[in-house]
Amino acid sequence: MDVNTEKKNVGSSDQRPKQTARRPIANFFVRELQKIVGEVHPDVTFAGRACYVRLDELIRAKIQFVSCGTAEEYPALGVTILNRQAGEVDQITLRFGDILGSHADPTANAPFAWEYEGVAEWYGFQPSQEDYQAMSGALEGYLEIFQEQTPSAAPQWQQTM
Predicted local distance difference test score (pLDDT) of residue 152: 58
Give pLDDT tens digits for 101-138: 866 556 567 899 999 888 899 998 899 999 999 999 99
Taking the C-alpha atoms of residue 52 and residue 37, their distance in angstroms, rounded to an integer, is 10
Q: Above 70 in pLDDT, residue 53?
A: yes
For the segment 34-60, the average pLDDT, to the nearest whole number, is 93
Q: Above 70 in pLDDT, residue 7?
A: no
Taking the C-alpha atoms of residue 86 and residue 112, their distance in angstroms, rounded to an integer, is 33
Predicted local distance difference test score (pLDDT) of residue 39: 84
Phi, psi at residue 21, to the nearest 5°? -75, 150
Q: Say if CB 72 and CB 92 are below 8 A apart.
A: no
pTM of the model: 0.74
Predicted local distance difference test score (pLDDT) of residue 148: 77
Taking the C-alpha atoms of residue 131 and residue 9, their distance in angstroms, rounded to an integer, is 50
